Amino acid sequence: MSWSTEFAKEIKQQNTPLTMTGDDYFDILPTIMYYMDEPLSNPSAMQLYYLSKGTREHVKVALSGEGADEFFGGYNTYLEAKPFETYQKWVPAGIRRLLGAAVVNLPRFHGRRFLVRGAQPLSERYYRVNYVFDYHDRDRILKDPSLNMDAGAYTKHIFDDVKGKDEMTQMQYFDINTWLPYDILHKADRMSMCNSLEVRTPLVDKEVAKFAATMPIKTRIRGTETKVSLRTAALSELPERVAKKEKLGFPSPIASWIKEDKYRTRIEEAFTSDVAKKFFNTDALLEILQEHINGKSSMQKIFTIYTFILWYQVYFPEDTSADTVSKVRRTDIDKIPVAN
C-alpha cells in the first residue's frame, strides 16, 4: 500500500491513485513544451500534468500548497545556512578562498563541496544550489562561446535587496522572487489550466507573506527540522508521523528510463537533430548521455538540453527538418485537444 493510500485511509478520505509509464512521460513532453510557452526543464511538470488531468475528471477547482516551503522554510537547503554562517564567522575569507581553490579540481570527497561553496558569497553559492551546467560544461557543449554567461550577474541584485539579513532569510527571499514565480507557480498554472482545472494557491497571499516575514528563524527551521511552524500546527490535527514526515518532492524514475533503449534512442535523435546542431556541439551531448548511462553524469543535464530541443522544435518548426517535426509532433501539436 502506498504512503498516500495509507494516509487517505487513516483520515477516512478516498484516494485515487494515478499511474504514469515511461511512454506516458516521453510522449507528452512535446505537448508540455507547447503549453509551457518557454523551456522549463523541471522533470515534475509531467507528473503535475497527469495529476491535473486526473483531478479534473472529478472537480473543477482544487487547492494546492505552493508557497509553503518558500514562506515557512520547507526546503532542506535552508538547513545549510547555519553551518555556512558559522564557517564564515570563524574562518577568514582569505583562508576560505585558498581552501576552495585547493580542492575544486580534486576528485570528490566528503566535504569538498562545502569547502568550494564556503569560499563563495551567498549570492553566488545559493543560486547555484540547483545549478545544472557550470562554466566548463557550457564551454564544452555550446557552439557559440559568447552564450557562455554566468547568470549570477542577473540575480545578485535580489540578494542586495536583503543584505544584512541572516542567510536563511536571504535564501528564502531569493526563492520567493525567482524559484516560486518562474518555476513552481508557472508550472502549476500551465499544467492545471491546460486541463481546464482551476488551482487556487491560498498560501501565496500578500497577508500570508507579510506574516511569514515576521516569523523568527526558530519557527522556520530547528536543528534538522524544516517548516517548524506548519509541522507544529499539523500535530494538532494529524498523526505525528504525518506532521513530521520527511519532505519529498515530486520525483519520477526518469533517470532510469533514460537508460532504457527506446527512450535513449529518442534522446539521441534529439541530440543529433538540426536544432541540436544549431546550438550545441552534438558530440559533447552524446558524451553526456553516455556518461549518464555509465552512471557518471546528471540526469538533469540531459533533461535540460532535451526539453530545450523539443521546445524549439515545437515553436520554430521552420528551423527543423520535416522528418524531425513529424517525430516531435506525435501528439499533433497543431490540434492539441483542450479539456472541457
The residue ranges of every structural domain in the chain are 1-43+252-340, 45-133+163-251
What is the structure's pLDDT at 115? 93
As a whole number, mean pLDDT of residues 324-330 equals: 49
Which of 255, 185, 195 has the alpha carbon at shortest distance from 32?
195
Q: How far is residue 205 from each of residues 62, 209, 282, 296, measured CA to CA in Å?
A: 16, 6, 45, 42
Half-sphere exposure of 297 (CA within 13 A, CB side): 22
**Residue 330 — very low, low, confident or very high, per pLDDT cuts 50/70/90?**
very low
Terminal-residue alpha carbon distance, the chain: 33
The residue type of 303 is F
* Continuous segment of H or E residues that includes residue 62: strand 61-63
CA–CA separation, 66 and 181 (whole Å): 10
Look at the block and give the residue holding cell 569538498.
Answer: 112
pLDDT in tens, 208-251: 999 999 999 999 999 999 999 999 999 998 888 888 888 877 77
| Cα angle: 7, vertex 52, 10; to 5 degrees | 10
Q: Mean of the per-residue pLDDT values for the chain?
A: 89
CA–CA separation, 50 and 193 (whole Å): 12
pLDDT over 90 (residue 155): no
What is the structure's pLDDT at 149? 85
Phi, psi of 225 (to 5 degrees): -100, 130
What is the structure's pLDDT at 339? 41
